[in-house]
Amino acid sequence: MQSTARVLVTGGAGYIGTHTCIQLLSAGYQLLVLDNFSNSSPEALHRVQAITGIEVPGIEGDINDAALLDRLFEQHAIDAVIHFAGLKAVGESVAQPLRYYHNNVSGTVTLCQAMQRAGVFNLVFSSSATVYGDPATLPIREDFPTSATNPYGRSKLIIEEILGDLYTSDPRWNVALLRYFNPVGAHPSGLIGEDPSDIPNNLMPYIAQVAVGRRERLSVFGSDYPTVDGTGVRDYIHVMDLADGHVRALAWLQQGLGIKAFNLGTGRGYSVLEMLKAFEQACGKTLAYELVARRPGDVASCYADPTLAEQELGWKATLGIEAMCADGWRWQSQNPEGYRS
């Protein structure tokens, strides 16, 4: 992929999408963002423009709209697609499985059909470490068995398998399945970041909202895990590092190596209490918490072996938890109510 290529970014107004747009623009790519703003706002794209000084063409629309996709591929010379668009709340997926399968699975099928009609065969897909279920050993390698414990995770797994079948049917496809570990932090400008529309499900945005006074205290889910301090351990990865992984994946597609899954993680796990302490350092406050019962479905520890991404994509995470917390705090403190601030 030439770095002057045009990339369609589905879900590009979201948390990971906006950060990736910035890194793509600074690498010279031309972008077209398609987002239905179901979990984001046009303001996020205005901020990307403010940071980069480059206008990002944004189309409001749905990946399930085949006619719209055909028009976009017809009107713009698109070389590759980075596909972030998807619903991602685990609990919600248990309550509304059909909505998740329609949006994530059918949406991806509709997108790939439109790509096929347009003769565009380069795809980077947002997968997740959730496809490993409860791993037997750590760190997690890409060849570990996969399984799903909820409809969200199953939607990712099904999509990975569909994309595998697609490649088997037509070797012109080049697909990078990027399995993200736990993305956190924000762009160092503090202008963009994660903006949950409801009570945050994830640790870092919850801690950030406690720090800014929107929530009283963190509930730490489980303190009897076989980990360093009894709390859950995860591989937190700075969203700017994750964004760079997508730029590398686009370059990898150009080699025409077919379909491959890559872990995007740091290879290092931190416990909930370690993250809380690091955030306290970043914001200069003591943050209230209580130890409560385990959250159903959680695993004790999860961290990546990121060797394959280093070898094949030439990508490695560079930012540690200090930067993750400092940048996350800058975003939250400058935008206490997110993009509505």
Residue 263 in contact with ligand NAD, rule: CB under 6 A: no
Number of H helices, E strands in the chain: 12, 14
Residue 126 in contact with ligand UFG, rule: CB under 6 A: no
The string of DSSP codes covering 170-204 is -TT-EEEEEEE-EEE---TTSSS----SSS--SHH
Residue 236 annotated in active site: no
Residue 298 touches which member of ligand NAD, ligand UFG, none, C-beta under 5-8 Å by kind: ligand UFG
Among residues 13, 48, 208, 253, the one that binds ligand NAD under rule CB under 6 A: 13
C-alpha 82/C-alpha 19 separation (Å) is 13
Distances in whole angstroms, Cα of residue 148 to Cα of each of 104, 136, 158: 15, 14, 10
- Closer to ligand UFG by Cβ: residue 151 or 338: 151
User: What's the min distance (Å) between Cβ of 219 and ligand UFG?
Assistant: 5
- Closer to ligand UFG by Cβ: residue 113 or 202: 202
Q: How many residues does the chain have?
A: 341
Residue closest to 143 by CA, chosen among 131, 152, 155: 131
Strands 233-234 and 270-271: antiparallel
- Closer to ligand NAD by Cβ: residue 188 or 256: 188
Residue 92 in contact with ligand UFG, rule: CB under 6 A: no
Angle value at C-alpha 317, between 316 and 323, nearest 5 degrees? 160
Residues that are catalytic: 152
Binding site for ligand UFG (CB under 6 A): 88, 90, 128-130, 180-182, 201-203, 206, 218-222, 232, 234, 272, 295, 298
Binding site for ligand NAD (CB under 6 A): 10-11, 13-17, 34-40, 62-64, 84-88, 103, 107, 126, 128, 180, 182-183
